[in-house]
Amino acid sequence: MPPTISRLALAAFALSVSILSAQPALAAVACGSGNFDAWLADFKTDAAAKGISQQAIASGLAGVTLDQSVLNRDRSQKVFSQTFEEFSGRMVPPRVQRGSNMMKQYGSVLSRIEQAYGVPGEVLVAIWGLETDFGVNTGKFATIRSLATLAYDCRRSEQFRAELMDALRIIQRGDLAPADMKGAWAGELGQTQFMPSSWMKYAVDFDGNGKRDLLHNAPDVLASTANYLASYGWQRGKDWQPGSPNFAVLQQWNKSEVYSKTVAYFATQLAHAP
Tell me which residues are annotated as active site. 131
Q: How far apart are CA 232 and CA 21, in angstroms?
A: 40
In 23-113 the beta strands, taken as DSSP E runs, fall at none
Determine the residue type at 184: A
With 0-12 / 13-18 / 19 or more C-beta atoms within 10 angstroms meaning exposed / middle / buried, residue 244 is: middle
Q: Is 189 helix (H, G, I), strand (E, B) or coil?
A: strand
Torsion of CA 231, 221, 254, 202, to 10 degrees: 30
User: Distance of alpha carbon 8 from its chain centroid, rounded?
Assistant: 35
User: Distance of alpha carbon 100 from its chain centroid, rounded?
Assistant: 26
Q: How far apart are CA 85 and CA 97, in angstroms?
A: 19
Residue pair 240/252 in contact by the 8 Å Cβ criterion: no
Residue pair 241/264 in contact by the 8 Å Cβ criterion: yes
How long is the chain? 274
> 208: alpha, beta or left, given left = phi > 0 and alpha = psi -120 to 50?
left
Cα dihedral sign, 85-90-94-98 = negative
Q: How far apart are CA 145 and CA 189, in angstroms?
A: 13
Q: How far apart are CA 172 and CA 54, in angstroms?
A: 9
